[in-house]
Amino acid sequence: MPKVTIDGKEIEVPKGTTILQAARMLGPDVAPPAMCYYSKLSKSGGYCRTCIVRVTKMNSQNPNPMPKPVASCRTEVMDGMEVVNYTSEQVLTDRKGVVEFLLINHPLDCPVCDQAGECHLQDLGYENGSEKTRYDFERRTYDMIDIGKNIKLHMNRCILCYRCVNTCEQLTDGRVHGVLNRGDVAEISTFIEKAIDNEFSGNVIDVCPVGALTDRTFRFKSRVWFTKPVDAHRDCKKCSGKVRLWFKGAEVLRVTARKDQWGEVEDWICNECRFDKKNVSDWELEGPSRISHHSVISQGHYELAKLKLDTGRQLKNLKEGKQKSTAKK
């Protein structure tokens, strides 16, 4: 089994493991952020470039570094490989650049966005982004559209992670949506005169890292941090029936799938569970959910909100340790 060292921590992993998976095994202090990679979907990842790391030693036979930063979600580990992530100033700077790119056309309308509070882009921007944008042009805009009865597509917020495309391709039959156009005007859309209408389509809402795909039955009902997550299950013929209910008072405002430490869905749920079963009597409650990743949802309620790390401070420390480069670029 290949041994890999990430940020000075060594781990032995099965063959075929990617750097990102190995880093996740080591824990959240080492794991790079991932916006497009989704462990439950095959062929996902490689697009957003937020998980880039540098390989300082290829393998035990070849001690040379890789010339370019690599997408850790799509690079398999080799025996003796050495990877730097949070310990490298270069990687942090590169990632900061990627976050800036992701945000230049993002509307930053968090105050009116339903995803705020559980948005991966918010977390990413908070941990790795700059305080100010240098982009002073008009942002690209699209009209909001309804794709299907229960799903709203707000393309302005999309970061084109392709997760929803992969979900529909791999989870349901008869894919009806994809990416139109190219470049920075590429957009997620349904094929002409089609709606996303199948039993598992609601899962695209859960996989969307930003607020581009939102639940029309929950839109503008409440901020997510005012709702309390409770795990529940029911006997469902179509799916596992294991869900998370979001209560405000005694009312169920929203039903989602359960998510793991990395914000990824544990079991896909069907649309009936998600959109139609909003009475407490439909469910058998299991108890409050553990929100294991840091989130405003867990703030002071379930688990102490723990920042994974403060990249800004870390970058500063790294820079102070080294001679500050004065060469004008």
Partner 1 sequence: MGKQLLLENINTPGIDTMAGYRAQGGYSSLQKALKMKPEEIVEEVKKSGLRGRGGAGFPTGMKWSFIAKPEGVPRHLVCNADESEPGTFKDRFLMQHKPHILIEGMIISSFALGCNTSYIYIRGELLYVYHILEKAIAEAYEAGFLGKNIMGSGFDLDLYVQPGGGAYICGEETALIESLEGKRGNPRIKPPFPAVAGVWGRPTVVNNVETISATVPIINMGGDEYAKIGVGKSTGTKLISACGHINKPGVYEIEMGVPVEEFIYSEQYCGGIRNGKKLKAVVAGGSSVPILPADLILKTAKGEPRLMTYESLSDGGFQTGTMLGSGGFIVMDETTSVVKNLWNFTRFYHHESCGQCSPCREGTGWMEKVLHRIVEGHGKQTDVDLLWDIQSKIDGKTICPLGDAASWPVASAIRHFRAEFEEYIKNPQNIKDEKHYYNLRNQKAPVA
Q: How many CB atoms lie within 10 A of CB 211?
A: 26
139 binds partner 1 (CB under 8 A): no
Find the shortest distance in angstroms from Cβ 129 to partner 1.
13
Q: How far is the CB of 20 from partner 1 (least distance, A)?
A: 13
Nearest alpha-carbon partner for 213 in 113, 109, 294, 112: 113
Q: Count of residues binding partner 1 (CB under 8 A)?
A: 37
Q: Please identify, using beta-carbon distances, which residue of 75 and 298 lies nearer to partner 1.
A: 75
Residue 1 CB, nearest approach to partner 1 (Å):
20
Q: Which is nearer to partner 1, 103 or 239 (CB)?
A: 103
SS3 for the chain is CCEEEECCEEEECCCCCEHHHHHHHHCCCCCCCCCCCCCCCCCCCCCCCCCEEEEEECCCCCCCCCCCCEEHHHCECCCCEEEECCCCHHHHHHHHHHHHHHHHCCCCCHHHCCCCCCCHHHHHHHHHCCCCCCCCCCCCCCCCEECCCCEEECHHHCCCCCHHHHHHHHHCCCCCEEEECCHHHCEEEECCCCCCCCCCCCHHHHHCCCCCEEECCCCCCCCHHHCEEEEEECCCCCCCCEEEEEEECCEEEEEEECECCCCCECCCCCHHHHHHCCCHHHCEEEEECCCCCCCHHHCCCCCCCCCCCCHHHHHHHHHHHCCCCCCCC
For partner 1, the closer CB: 191 or 261: 191
Residue placing its CB nearer to partner 1 in the complex, 169 or 303: 169
- Work out whether 47 is an interface residue with partner 1 (CB under 8 A): yes
User: At its nearest, how many Å lie between partner 1 and the CB of residue 59?
Assistant: 14
Judged by CB under 8 A, the stretch of 95-103, 202-210, 221-229, 298-306 that binds partner 1 is: 95-103
Residue choice 71, 204, 208, 224 for contact with partner 1 (CB under 8 A): 71
Residues 157 to 186 in contact with partner 1, rule: CB under 8 A: 159-160, 162, 178-179, 181-186
Which structure tokens are listed for 57?
């030693």
Q: Is 48 in the site for partner 1 (CB under 8 A)?
A: yes
134 binds partner 1 (CB under 8 A): yes
Site for partner 1 in 249-308 (CB under 8 A): none
With contacts defined by CB under 8 A, name the span among 5-13, 56-64, 99-107, 168-176 that binds partner 1: 99-107
Rule CB under 8 A: which of 101-120 touch partner 1?
Answer: 101-102, 104-105
Nearer to partner 1, 49 or 259 (CB): 49
Contact stretch for partner 1 (CB under 8 A) within 65-73, 118-126, 287-295, 296-304: 65-73
| Residue 329 touching partner 1 (CB under 8 A) | yes
Q: Give the shortest CB-66-to-partner 1 separation in angstroms.
A: 10
Pick the closer one to partner 1 by CB: 43 or 149.
43
Q: What is the rounded distance in angstroms from the CA atom of residue 190 to the CA atom of residue 264?
A: 24
Q: Which positions lie near partner 1, rule CB under 8 A?
A: 45-50, 52, 67-69, 71, 74, 94, 97-98, 100-102, 104-105, 134-135, 137, 159-160, 162, 178-179, 181-186, 327-329
